Structure formats: C-alpha cells, structure tokens
Structure 1
C-alpha cells in the first residue's frame, strides 16, 4: 500500500476530529484522528462532498 500523507485534524465543536489524507496516486482517505489505521477510501470528489456536509452540520453523526 502507498504511503498516506495525512493533513492536520479538523475538529468541530464537541465532535470527533477527523483527518484527510492522500497518496502519491491521488487517492483520498478519511479517518477519525488517532485511528488512521481504520480509514475510508474513495475519490477526492466523494470525500470532499462528505466533508462539506459534515462542516455544514448535516452529517457529523457519521463520524
């Protein structure tokens, strides 16, 4: 498996922190901060849509 480069954690008020990562092939990953070994992988577009919904307060319960 390619090396994943993780960004700094994003933490919403009172919610879990999560991190976004990418690998050299351009795949995107999302994981709860501190549990990066358990991640979800998808296209950047799909993860970007999920993150926008989380930031809008619509899907924070998913993490």
Structure 2
C-alpha cells in the first residue's frame, strides 16, 4: 500500500510535467484544476455526487430544447 501524496508532492509532479516555458498563469490554472478535481473526488467519496441521469434532469431545467 502506498502512502498518500501530499499537496506539495502533487504540485512538484505537476511542475515536472509542464513545459519549461509555462507562465505563472499556466501554473496557477493547473493548480486550480488539481484542487477542483480533489474536491470533486472528496464530494463523490462523501456521497455528494450525482448520477449521469440526475445531472441530465437538472440541466434540462436550464437548457432550452
């Protein structure tokens, strides 16, 4: 069993994958996306997710047909 990856390790891995000419804005965006993914996974693990069908039903109220 592997140890959990720390936030610092996650960012270090991200930085290693980005091109050398990545801007600070690029880095900020990718860190933002990582955090959103982490929060989404935590929500799903806590039972706060929705099925595909539930999402369709919710979006149908907002989107014109």
Which structure shows the bigger proportion of residues in strand conformation? Answer: 1
> Same fold, TM exceeding 0.5?
no
Which structure shows the bigger proportion of residues in helix conformation? Answer: 2
- Larger C-alpha radius of gyration, 1 or 2? 2
Q: TM-score with structure 1 length normalisation?
A: 0.31
Q: TM-score with structure 2 length normalisation?
A: 0.30
